[in-house]
Structure 1
Amino acid sequence: MNEAAPPSTEALRVLVVDDEAPARARLRDLLGDVGAQQPNALAGMASNGVEALRLLEDAAVDVVLADIRMPVMDGVELARHLARLPAPPALVFVTAYDQYAVQAFELAAVDYLLKPVRAQRLAEALERVRARRVPPAAEALATLAVGERGHFSVAERGRILLVPVAEVLYLRAELKYVTARTAAREYVLDEALVQIEQEFPRRFLRLHRNCLVALAAVAGVERAAERDGHKDGEREAEPHWEVLLRELPERLPVSRRQWPAVRQALGL
């Protein structure tokens, strides 16, 4: 008869994220129940992904137990932001929906727990975390997402800085990075412009190969003439169009190739 392996003595620091207070309380109690088998310490509890990210600024965490469906920021978007951390915590999704759970386990999480969560399944999930702390792939999380993200994220000094998508006026590709411009400042995103365009087809409009503008930020368009300079004077070249923004004095040029699509999207 084989003897059971002794439990690990290292306590896993656990963050519980669920929008329902009874669900958070149940997970807290179950973590206490399985403590002898799977030593753990409750690092905090949050009601949505935004609260969780704020808690992670001050608390070191080994594993996040995250509900998939939550307001403000759901578990999938939270996972996408966590994946940008230098040392992301392991992720265990908690859900009442079988179809999400199976997909989450196969694509993005170390494990998944179906509600109502049972103590033994929680213990098994923590054991898997100890054995396999592999961060989820960004591509897998993108396929798991139900809708658009509410935030872009920037890894800054070991923490996640959230940039509300609704505040972004335009995005510009520069070398390997994308710059997101709000009315207040610029943020450097580690994302591809084409992926952002595909994720937000109704929010952002392509002006040329290196620039997307938020439709809500467009104040109008204006014809502008290019000039090619010469020492003996300047010649006026073929005119082109520029997009005017509501909150910034900048003008964003529209490529000739994109102008028909821009004109149609703006109803001109």
Structure 2
Amino acid sequence: MKGIIVEDEFPAREELKYFINSFSNIEIIDEFDNGVDVLKFIQENIIDVIFLDINIPMIDGMLLARTIDNFKVKPKIVFITAYKEHAVDAFELEAFDYILKPYSEERIVSMLEKLENIKVLLDNKKEKNTKIISIEGSLDKVSLWKNDKLIVVKIDDIYYCEADERETIVFTKEDKYVVKSSITEFEKNLASDKIFKTHRSFIVNTSKIEAIIPWFNNTYKLKLKDLNAEVPVSRSKIKDFRKLMHI
């Protein structure tokens, strides 16, 4: 896993580099103290993660992150900053983590472990190819964490998913699971014509809908079979939802 550090204060950069080198296998291939040089670098190089301060010269970290968000291949962004007021913006950009200075060793190590665990899972999926392939050539099962175990779950058994900060909660009829990624990233694993993102924070399996209930501003609430749960359909999704459901 390759990464870069973007931090204009040398002591902070050295401290972060020490933790990364000591507690992970992440290779820091370059360091920067301003946003312009970073932008040039990532346009020519593929990296896995950026450890990014917000208060940096020329192009600040938040503007840099918004620019990177438009890239086709996007590295994970870990904000490391003294400014807590940008946390909401970071969440909307689906940053991997947001760590406030002065940070603790425990907090940094935990973040590094999560980064490497995700990398291992992705590599295992590519190498082992253990998932069952559907007619369209897509995966019809996903592996979900529960109590420190990976459980293989059929996509058809998923009722709905809900965003929870930087994680995604996946609900089946009998259980729920935690996915250590944003709901947008998780949606990419759900290759099924029954899966529909109704809202920025919700995904639903349309085969599990029991009732479509009109709601305010011409939106809907979806009542699901077997579960005491309702899923909203946002205004931006109404047109596509009606087309999908033939209403």
- Normalising by structure 2, we get a TM-score of 0.44
- Normalising by structure 1, we get a TM-score of 0.41
Q: Which has the higher helix share?
A: 2
